[in-house]
Amino acid sequence: GGAARGGPARLEDLQLRELRRCADFLVVDKPPDVRLDGDFPATLEKAVTAALPDLDKPRWIHQLDFATSGVICIGLNRVAAGNASRLFSERRTRKFYLALVRGHMRQPTPWLPRATPALRRARDSV
């Protein structure tokens, strides 16, 4: 069953938290430990399809990992999803990440791996 692999065991256990909807897009708050799709009892795809029965299929514009929670934008039609996906692939969107840590960090200062060009640009723009 799905519970052994993590995530909600039943579709009824997955609450779809809609943040915004228009004719082209649905924006939802994806909880942690929820799969987007696949052969599992409860996925975001199944929850969206249940909430919007007239929808042909949800179209992923970008993705979030299984363990990652956050805002995800879903295309409600092929043209809108294609246009929005192109913005992500051309890196014309901006994404922000916030890490929450339970407990205390062992190192006195945050540690980052070697500075990638993106990290250097971000550091230099501050």
Q: Which residues are catalytic?
A: 65
DSSP 31: P
- Angle value at C-alpha 103, between 98 and 106, nearest 5 degrees: 95
Q: 30, 72 in Cβ contact below 8 A?
A: yes
CA atoms of 77 and 33, how far apart (whole Å): 26
